[in-house]
Amino acid sequence: MGNAATVETASWEDEVSKAEGLVMVDFWAVWCGPCQVVAPIVEELATEYDGRVKVLKLNTDENPEIATQFHVMSIPSLIFFKDGQQIDKLVGAQSKQKFKETIDRLLA
């Protein structure tokens, strides 16, 4: 499997808040150019870290309450959660290497 799954307001509690281990959520929107640049990188990371990191995507236009709850002002924003708690955040299009460095640090 390994592909990034979709998370929505209705599934947030089960998929993120109650999740054990590291969860990475890509906050994005269809109209966002930088989000489209990051999307294939997020998919690659979902495959590379399958079994170690849960990788999810949240459409901010369809789930504004979650985006507001986590103070997402710019997209793409990748927010990292561990055992349901926010532990890190990357804002803006970043290189795959930057994402991997962050994930590896959080897994260590």
User: Which residues have a catalytic role annotated?
Assistant: 32, 35
Task: Compute, in degrees rounded to 10, the torsion defined by CA atoms 103, 106, 107, 108.
Answer: 120
Q: How far is CA 10 from the centre of its chain?
A: 17
Report d(CA 4, CA 33) in Å as an integer.
19
